[in-house]
Amino acid sequence: RDPSEANEFSRTKLTYESRANLAKSSIAKRLFNLMATKQTNLCLAADLTKSDEILDIADKCGPYICLLKTHVDIVEDFSESFISNLQALATRHNFLIMEDRKFVDIGNTVSLQYSKGVYKISNWADLVTAHTLPGRSIVQGLKAALDGEAAVKERGVFLLAEMSSSGNLIDDKYKESSNKIATEGSNVDFVAGIVCQSANCFAFPGLVQLTPGIKIDESVDKLGQQYQSPEHAVKERGADIGVVGRGILQAGNVQQAAINYRDRLWAAYTDRIAK
Amino acid sequence: RDPSEANEFSRTKLTYESRANLAKSSIAKRLFNLMATKQTNLCLAADLTKSDEILDIADKCGPYICLLKTHVDIVEDFSESFISNLQALATRHNFLIMEDRKFVDIGNTVSLQYSKGVYKISNWADLVTAHTLPGRSIVQGLKAALDGEAAVKERGVFLLAEMSSSGNLIDDKYKESSNKIATEGSNVDFVAGIVCQSANCFAFPGLVQLTPGIKIDESVDKLGQQYQSPEHAVKERGADIGVVGRGILQAGNVQQAAINYRDRLWAAYTDRIAK
């Protein structure tokens, strides 16, 4: 076995710093390094419907997160100043912004959805999410939207290879195809990571595993979302970044909740690489 | 075999009027009747980025279509007046509006995406599209957004059981699961139809088959979209409604192009039921 193959089978044993060096996507490299330097693998899912509330929670939790995940299409008072304020907070607190758009249309349409419309997502989101369901054209379509001057911006996509909702239709074959789309072909430099729930979902250590559905008290919500603990996600499921939404948003003290999640996710990571 | 079973195996041989009577979704019933009365099974995909252009083409093509399909998130100058103008055109020319959002997130998120944000899709779109990838919770989540007074509105979803992009990851098992989500359980009254490419994708005649990717000169675009002719779509592939985008949008005379597509799609349907 050559060293690269050995690395592939020990992705979860490697440090974020060493994985930064293996990344093909420059934004993945930046994210790994940011996590290592800032010592946080917490992503906040800022699923709120008022821009002031999002900015407030981004300011309070910013120091403890590597990534802020938005659903910009649920924000009722969206404006360009909301975006510029959010970007200012990202710079001040040193986190990246991911728009969790879950692009899933044909190439021509996702290209427009990514760069046009009210939101102009490609202008401000460092990262976006997309489903692999449409095939390779999803990555191609997103990348095509950046042609021209925007192409110099550091951008990337996280591909969904699993979902956290109960009864979802993703099977092993689907995961394998997603893995191939993420790691083969000429557009792999645009793929920063994989959204998934398990360590065996992909092997390439240059990709970041983002795992949603993390909550200290594990449970199921009334619309089918399944939760797991920070330790279980990082140590058993291979999460590099844990996404916490309602566990922080609904806490009495959001800042303290963010610190708790940051501490537990980071401790789980240091345990994982120490073993 | 009882009559209902016989019907199931001859979905494509039934008239739209008779299928209206079999629909479990009240908006599907309305759509089937509209198609029969107006004698059109053409859906225009108004994939344009300026609201004036969309209103202009909706006005020109409105008399010849049963459905106008929007991607509201690519419209750069979206406003509430754009929506009210579009609704006025829908009333004047008697067509329904479908927002092709392709919802594909967990229940709680799609519920917010459907009803909140800048677009407030549930306020104005008669129909929306969604992927079955997240499982049954996708229908449940969308329906949950209509709780309260909005629930009285006639609304429905088209579930994607196939895609037209080359190399997409949908297989037979996925299609079968989509079919079950569309026809079993307590939320089937919210499912108006299926977006798919083939007649064997589902059997229940009370659902409408919407087939995108129709163009008179069949071809493939540079981002993996595959096209088929109106006749092939309706007669061989089971399409009840054919979706035409670039075939009309890029025509020299859009009105004449809409008439041509309407005529060819409708003739293919009358041929289909006559045999």
B contact test, residue of A53, A70, A223, A243 with most B CBs within 10 A? A223
Say what the pTM is.
0.92
Q: Inform me whether the pLDDT recorded for A199 exceeds 50.
A: yes
Provide φ and ψ at B192, rounded to 5°.
-90, -25
**Coil/strand/helix, residue B175:** helix
User: What pLDDT score was predicted for residue B184?
Assistant: 94
What crossing angle do the helices spanning A51-61 and A254-274 adopt, rounded to 10°? 50
Which chain B residues touch A123 with a CB distance below 8 Å?
none
Q: Rounded to an integer, what distance in angstroms lies between the CA atom of residue A113 and that of residue A122?
A: 9
Tell me which residue in A47, A108, A133 faces B168 most closely, judged by beta carbons: A133
A223 touches chain B (CB under 8 A): yes
| Contact: B112, A49; criterion CB under 8 Å | yes
**Most B CBs within 10 Å, among A118, A129, A184, A250, to test the B interface:** A118
Q: How far apart are CA A58 and CA A60, in angstroms?
A: 6
Is residue A152 over pLDDT 60? no
Q: How far apart are CA B152 and CA A229, in angstroms?
A: 40
Give the nearest partner residue to B135 out of A73, A168, A173, using CB atoms. A168
Instruction: Tell me what the mean pLDDT of segment A164-191 comes to.
Output: 93
With beta carbons less than 8 A apart as the criterion, state whether B2 and B169 touch. Answer: no
Take residue A198 and report the two structure tokens written for it.
């398990």
Label residue A243 left, alpha or beta by phi (over 0 means left) and psi (-120 to 50 means alpha): beta
Give the model's pLDDT for residue A151.
Answer: 53
Going A102 to A106 to A112 to A117, the CA torsion angle's sign is negative
Chain B, window 248-267: residues with a beta carbon less than 8 angstroms from a chain A beta carbon: none
Tell whether B170 is within 8 A of chain A (Cβ). yes
Centroid of chain to Cα A191: 11
Q: Is B173 helix (H, G, I), strand (E, B) or coil?
A: helix
Find the helix packing angle between B80-93 and B51-61, rounded to 10°. 0
Closest by Cβ to A165, choosing from B116, B135, B166: B135
Largest CA distance in chain A: 55
> Measured between alpha carbons, how far apart are the two ends of chain B, in Å?
22
The whole-number pLDDT of residue A186 equals 87
The span from the first CA to the last CA of chain A, in angstroms, equals: 22
Could you give the residue numbers annotated as active site of A? Answer: 102
* pLDDT for the residue numbered B186: 87
ipTM entry? 0.89
Residue A165's pLDDT band (cuts 50, 70, 90): confident
Interacting residues of A64 by C-beta distance below 8 A, sequence separation 6+: A40, A42, A255, A258, A259, A261, A262
Phi, psi of A181 (to 5 degrees): -65, -35
At residue B150, the pLDDT reads 53
Q: Which residues of A touch B132 (CB under 8 A)?
A: 169
Is A1's pLDDT higher than 50?
A: no
In chain A, the residue whose alpha carbon lies closest to the alpha carbon of B179 is A169
Strand partners, B242: B42, B211
Q: Both tokens of residue B127?
A: 């129909």
Chain center to CA of B242: 9
Identify residue A18 by its one-letter amino acid code: S
State percent of chain A over pLDDT 70.
92
Q: What is residue B128's predicted lDDT score, i.e. its pLDDT?
A: 98
A49, A102, A137 member nearest B165 (Cβ): A137
- The alpha-carbon gap from B196 to the nearest alpha carbon of chain A, in Å, equals 13
- CA pair distance A230, B13, nearest whole angstrom: 55
Instruction: Calculate the alpha carbon distances from B56 to A76, B67, B254 in Å.
Output: 28, 15, 10
Task: Identify the segments of chain B with pLDDT beneath 70.
Answer: 1-9, 148-153, 218-222, 224-225
User: Which helix (H) or strand (E) covers residue B221, if one does?
Assistant: none
Averaged pLDDT score across all residues of chain A: 92
Chain A residues with CB under 8 Å of B119 CB are: 73
Residues 146-165 of A with CB under 8 A from B: 163-165
Classify residue B40 by its DSSP letter: -
Helix A51-61, helix A80-93: angle, nearest 10: 0
Which residue, B53, B124, B67, B17, is CA-closest to B258?
A: B67
Q: Which residues pair with A69 in a beta bridge?
A: A45, A98
Residue A78 to residue B117, Cβ atoms within 8 A: yes
pLDDT digits (tens, 9 = 90+) for A208-243: 999 998 998 866 666 666 778 999 999 999 999 999
CA distance A170 to chain B (A): 7
Q: In this complex, which of B140, B173, B225 lies closest to A223 when CB atoms are compared?
A: B140
Name which of B118, B132, B166 is nearest A135 (Cβ-Cβ): B166
In the set B24, B102, B120, B235, the catalytic residue is: B102
Q: Which of B74, B101, B120 best probes binding to A when mutated, by most A CB atoms within 10 angstroms?
A: B74
Asked whether the beta carbons of residue A225 and residue B107 sit closer than 8 angstroms, the reply is yes
DSSP-derived letter for residue B77 is T
pLDDT tens figures, B81-117: 999 999 999 999 999 999 999 999 999 999 999 999 9
Task: Name residue B71's amino acid.
Answer: H
- Backbone phi, psi, residue A165, to 5°: -80, 140
Distances (CA, A) of A249 to A77, A203, A257, B119, B268: 19, 32, 9, 24, 54
Rounded average pLDDT over A90-109: 96
Q: Which two tokens stand for residue A235?
A: 């140590």
**Nearest-CA residue of chain B relative to A77?**
B118
Gap between the Cα atoms of B68 and B62, Å rounded:
8
Residue with tokens 């789980």: A268
The mean pLDDT of A97-123, rounded to a whole number, is 95
**Backbone φ and ψ of A229, nearest 5°:** -75, 160
Determine the 3-state secondary structure of B177 from DSSP.
helix
In the prediction, which pLDDT does B220 show?
Answer: 66
Q: What is the largest CA-CA distance in chain B?
A: 55
Name which of B103, B105, B129 to mutate to probe chain A: the one with the most chain A Cβ atoms within 10 A of its Cβ.
B105
Cα distance between residue A136 and residue A130, in whole Å: 11
Calculate Rg over the CA atoms of chain A.
Answer: 17
> B106 vs A169: CB contact, 8 Å cut-off?
no
B14/chain A closest Cα distance in angstroms: 31
- C-alpha span between A150 and A133 (Å, rounded): 26
**pLDDT for B166:** 87
Alpha carbon of B233: minimum distance to chain A alpha carbons (Å):
18
Q: State how far residue A136 is from chain B, nearest Cα, in angstroms.
A: 7
Q: Which residues 64-123 of B are in CB contact (within 8 Å) with A?
A: 71-76, 78, 100, 102, 104-109, 111-113, 116-119
Instruction: Read off the pLDDT band of A260 (50, 70, 90).
Output: very high
**Please, are residues A238 and A44 in contact by the beta-carbon 8 Å criterion?**
no
